[in-house]
C-alpha cells in the first residue's frame, strides 16, 4: 500500500498530460522549444566561427528579442482571437523561416546580415507565442491544477534545453548548419500541427469589441493596480537583463575561450543547464498546490545569480557542467513560481495581455545580451558574468523590500 501511494504521488503531476488539450499544447511547446534551443546554439556558434567577435554573438542573441517592445500589442491580439490558431500560425511561420535559412545555406550565399534579418523576422513572429501558449494553460486547466500546469510547461521547456543543445551541437559538428536547420524547420512544422488540433473555449472578453489600442491601455491600467503583477514583471526585467545572457550570449564564449571546447562541448554545457532545470521543475510539479510562490521566486533569483560568481571562476569543463546543473534548477524554480503567480493573480480576460507584458519584460534581454557581449569582447566573459550576478542580486533585493505583497503571494 505504501509503495502504491508513493507511486501515485510521483505520477500525480503527469496525469494532466492525459487531458487531450493540455497534452497537445505541451507537445507543441516541447517541439517548438527544442527547435528554438537548436537554433540558439546554431546561430551563436555560426556567428562566432564566422566573425570571431563575442560582441556580435551577443548582438545576434539580442536581435531575437529586438521587437519585444510590441509584446503588449501581441498580447491584446491573443485576447481577441482563438489562441490555438494564433499559436499554430506562429509555428508554421517559424518553419518557413527555417526553410529560408536552409535555402541560403544550400546556395552558399549566406552573409551575416542575412542572419540578422532572419532573426528579426523570427522575433516578430514569436511575439505571439508566449501570450497565446501560456494563456492557453489557464484556458484548459482548472484553477487547482494551474501550478502543476505551470510546472509541467516549464519542465517541457527544460527538456528542450537538454535535447535541443545536445542534438544541435553534435548535429552541427556532424552535418553542419544545413543538417541542423532541416531538423529545426521540421520541428516547428509538427508543433504547428499539434497546436492546430487543440480544442478549447476561450473566455469572452469585451476587448474584442474595443480597439486594439484601448485593449492595450486597459491592460496597463489593470497591472498598475496590482502590486503583485507589476512587481513580478519588474523582476522578469531584472532576470532577463542579468541572468539569461549567461546561457545565450556568454555561453559560446565560455565554451571556446575559457574551457577550450567546440560546438559539441557547448551543447553539453547547455544540456547540463537543461538537466538542472528539468530536475527543478519536476520536483515542483509534484507539489499539488504550490504555496509561497512569491518567496520562492525571490529566493530562486538570488540563488541563480549567486551561482554565476562560482561559474565565472571555474576553468574546469566538468565543474562548470556541475555548477550549471544548480543554476538550471534555480532558473526553473523562478520560472515555475513566476508563471504560477501570474496565472493565479490575473483575471481570465487579461491573461493574453499580461503574458504579452511578460514577454515585453524579456525585451531587457536585448540590452543585457549587448552589454554582456560588450564586456566579454573588451575584457572577459568572466567579468561579464560577475557584473550580471552582482547587479541581479542588488536589484532583486531592492524589489523584494519594495513589494511586500509579492513576498506574501
Count other Cβ atoms within 10 Å, centred on residue 3: 7
Closest CA to 351 of 237, 231, 236, 215: 215
Q: What is the mean pLDDT of the chain?
A: 81
**pLDDT of amino acid 322:** 94
For residue 55, is it within any domain?
A: yes
**pLDDT of amino acid 226:** 77
Cβ pair 396, 294 in contact under 8 A? no
CA–CA separation, 105 vs 100, rounded Å? 9
**pLDDT of amino acid 3:** 44
Q: State the CATH number of the domain containing residue 147.
A: 1.20.1250.20
SS3 145: helix
For residue 7, is it within any domain?
A: no
Which three cell numbers, joined as nine digits, stand for 262? 567546440
Would you list the DSSP string of 13-64? GGGGGGSHHHHHHHHHHHHHHHHHHHHHHHHHHHHHHHH--HHHHHHHHHHT
Cβ pair 318, 268 in contact under 8 A? no
Which three cell numbers, joined as nine digits, stand for 22? 493540455
Residue 3: in which H helix or E strand, if any? helix 2-11
CA–CA separation, 184 vs 95, rounded Å? 7
**pLDDT of amino acid 317:** 92
Q: 91: left (phi > 0), else alpha (psi -120 to 50), else beta?
A: alpha
Cα 319 to chain centroid, rounded: 25
Residue 352: in which H helix or E strand, if any? helix 351-361
For residue 358, is it within any domain?
A: yes
CA–CA separation, 328 vs 272, rounded Å? 8
SS3 content of the chain, % helix, strand, coil (to 5): 85, 0, 15
**pLDDT of amino acid 285:** 67
Cβ pair 63, 367 in contact under 8 A? no
For residue 346, is it within any domain?
A: yes
Buried b / exposed e along 321-341 (16+ C-beta atoms within 10 A): bbbbbbbbbbbbbbbbbbbbb
Cβ pair 308, 250 in contact under 8 A? no
Which three cell numbers, joined as nine digits, stand for 189? 512544422
Tens digit of pLDDT at every position of the chain (409 positions): 444 444 444 444 566 777 788 888 888 988 998 898 888 888 878 888 888 777 777 777 777 766 766 766 777 777 777 788 888 999 999 999 999 999 988 888 888 788 888 888 888 888 788 777 777 877 777 666 766 777 777 777 767 777 887 788 888 888 888 888 999 999 999 999 998 888 875 554 554 555 666 777 777 777 777 788 888 888 888 988 898 888 777 888 888 888 888 877 887 888 888 888 888 877 776 666 667 778 888 999 999 999 999 999 999 999 999 999 999 999 888 888 888 888 778 776 777 677 777 777 777 777 888 888 888 888 988 899 999 999 999 999 998 888 887 777 6
Cβ pair 141, 13 in contact under 8 A? no
**pLDDT of amino acid 15:** 67
CA–CA separation, 322 vs 328, rounded Å? 10
Closest CA to 133 of 148, 147, 160, 154: 154
Q: How many domains does the chain have?
A: 1
Count other Cβ atoms within 10 Å, centred on residue 18: 8
CA–CA separation, 84 vs 211, rounded Å? 22
- What's the whole-model pTM score? 0.68
Which residues span the domain enclosing 66?
12-201+210-408
The DSSP letter of residue 210 is S
For residue 1, is it within any domain?
A: no
Closest CA to 307 of 324, 295, 321, 294: 324
Helices vs strands, H then E, count in the chain: 18, 0
For residue 128, is it within any domain?
A: yes
CA–CA separation, 83 vs 79, rounded Å? 8
Closest CA to 295 of 210, 146, 400, 200: 400
| Helices 20-51, 146-196: inter-axial angle, 10-degree rounding | 80
For residue 3, is it within any domain?
A: no
Would you list the DSSP string of 232-284? HHHHHHHHHHHTGGGTTTTHHHIIIIIS---HHHHHHHHHHHHHHHHHHHHHH
243 vs 85, 148, 248, 309, 337, CA distance in Å? 32, 25, 10, 12, 16
Amino acid at each position: 500500500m505504501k509503495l502504491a501511494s508513493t507511486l501515485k504521488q510521483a505520477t500525480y503531476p503527469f496525469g494532466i498530460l492525459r487531458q487531450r488539450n493540455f497534452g497537445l499544447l505541451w507537445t507543441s511547446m516541447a517541439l517548438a522549444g527544442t527547435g528554438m534551443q537548436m537554433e540558439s546554439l546554431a546561430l551563436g556558434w555560426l556567428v562566432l566561427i564566422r566573425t570571431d567577435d563575442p560582441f556580435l554573438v551577443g548582438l545576434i542573441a539580442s536581435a531575437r528579442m529586438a521587437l519585444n517592445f510590441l509584446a503588449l500589442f501581441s498580447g491584446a491580439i491573443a485576447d481577441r482571437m482563438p489562441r490555438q490558431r494564433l499559436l499554430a500560425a506562429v509555428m508554421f511561420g517559424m518553419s518557413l523561416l527555417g526553410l529560408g535559412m536552409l535555402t541560403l545555406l544550400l546556395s552558399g550565399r549566406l552573409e551575416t546580415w542575412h542572419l540578422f534579418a532572419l532573426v528579426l523576422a523570427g522575433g516578430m513572429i514569436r511575439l505571439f507565442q508566449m501570450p497565446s501558449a501560456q494563456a492557453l494553460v489557464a484556458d484548459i486547466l482548472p484553477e487547482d491544477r494551474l501550478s502543476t500546469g505551470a510546472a509541467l510547461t516549464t519542465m517541457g521547456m527544460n527538456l528542450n534545453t537538454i535535447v535541443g543543445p545536445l542534438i544541435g551541437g553534435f548535429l552541427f559538428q556532424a552535418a553542419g548548419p544545413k543538417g541542423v536547420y532541416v531538423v529545426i524547420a521540421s520541428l516547428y512544422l509538427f508543433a504547428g500541427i499539434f497546436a492546430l488540433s487543440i480544442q478549447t473555449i476561450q473566455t469572452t472578453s469585451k476587448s474584442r469589441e474595443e480597439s486594439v489600442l484601448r485593449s492595450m491601455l486597459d491592460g496597463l491600467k489593470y497591472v498598475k493596480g496590482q502590486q503583485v503583477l507589476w512587481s513580478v514583471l519588474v523582476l522578469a526585467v531584472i532576470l532577463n537583463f542579468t541572468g539569461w545572457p549567461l546561457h545565450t550570449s556568454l555561453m559560446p564564449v565560455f565554451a571556446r575561450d575559457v574551457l577550450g571546447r567546440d560546438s559539441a562541448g557547448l551543447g553539453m554545457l547547455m544540456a547540463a543547464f537543461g538537466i538542472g532545470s528539468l530536475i527543478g521543475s519536476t520536483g515542483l510539479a509534484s507539489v499539488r498546490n504550490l504555496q509561497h510562490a512569491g518567496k520562492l521566486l525571490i529566493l530562486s533569483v538570488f540563488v541563480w545569480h549567486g551561482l554565476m560568481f562560482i561559474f565565472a571562476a571555474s576553468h574546469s569543463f566538468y565543474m562548470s557542467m556541475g555548477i550549471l546543473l544548480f543554476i538550471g534548477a534555480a532558473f526553473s524554480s523562478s520560472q515555475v513560481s513566476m508563471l504560477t503567480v501570474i496565472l493565479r493573480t490575473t483575471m481570465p480576460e487579461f491573461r493574453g495581455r499580461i503574458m504579452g507584458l511578460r514577454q515585453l519584460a524579456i525585451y531587457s534581454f536585448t540590452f543585457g545580451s549587448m552589454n554582456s557581449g560588450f564586456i566579454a569582447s573588451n575584457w572577459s566573459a568572466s567579468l561579464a558574468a560577475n557584473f550580471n550576478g552582482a547587479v541581479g542580486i542588488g536589484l532583486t533585493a531592492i524589489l523584494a523590500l519594495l513589494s511586500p505583497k509579492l513576498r506574501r503571494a
